[in-house]
Amino acid sequence: MIGKKMEEALNDQVREELSSAYLYLAMAAYFAHEGWDGMAHWMRVQAEEELEHALRIFDHVLERGGRVTLQALPAPEETWPSPLAAFQAAYKHEQHITGRIHRLVELARAEKDLPAEAMLGWFVTEQVEEEDHALKVVQLLERVGGDGRGLVLADRELGQRGKED
């Protein structure tokens, strides 16, 4: 049986993961509108990953006899000044999520909730990957700068992202 504090904290994290998916869908819509189909694809794949993350926590709560309580999602931004600004925002958001995951691990340890700590261990590793992927795109777009040809090539490369990338 899951403890009340952990149940509430994990429900909050389900909201955070769904909010992440919502943010990345908003970014996908922005990129598609601006004609950056590769970047839109990258963000759609990211949104799908975030939905999977939410469901992983959702299932954990249910498997432990807890109650999942879905919460309202805040409306995400709709536009960004540039592709670089959008990916910088995505990177900053991933850092935010990493901090939340770390606090959940600390709570699991304080509550002596070994199943939650084990489940969250996957997220600790995943967040290293999430931050790395976003940062690499930021660095790529910083190198490209405002060069239109470079942006076209970056867009093409980002459009090659598979589900496991």
Fold held by 4-158? Ferritin (1.20.1260)
Q: What's the pLDDT score for residue 142?
A: 97
Domain boundaries, the chain: 4-158
pLDDT tens profile 52-109? 999 999 999 999 999 999 999 999 999 999 999 999 999 999 999 999 999 999 999 9
Q: Are 97 and 20 in contact (CB under 8 A)?
A: yes
pLDDT tens profile 107-116? 999 999 999 9
For the stretch 148-157, contacts whose Cβ atoms lie closer than 8 Å and that sit 24 or more positions apart, written own/partner, are 151/36, 151/83, 154/38, 154/39, 154/83, 155/36, 155/37, 155/38, 155/39, 155/83, 156/38, 157/38
Sequence-ordered list of residues with C-beta below 8 angstroms from that of 104, at least 6 positions apart, any chain: 9, 10, 13, 116, 120, 123
Q: Which two tokens stand for residue 13?
A: 């994290």
Tokens 């700068």, residue located: 145
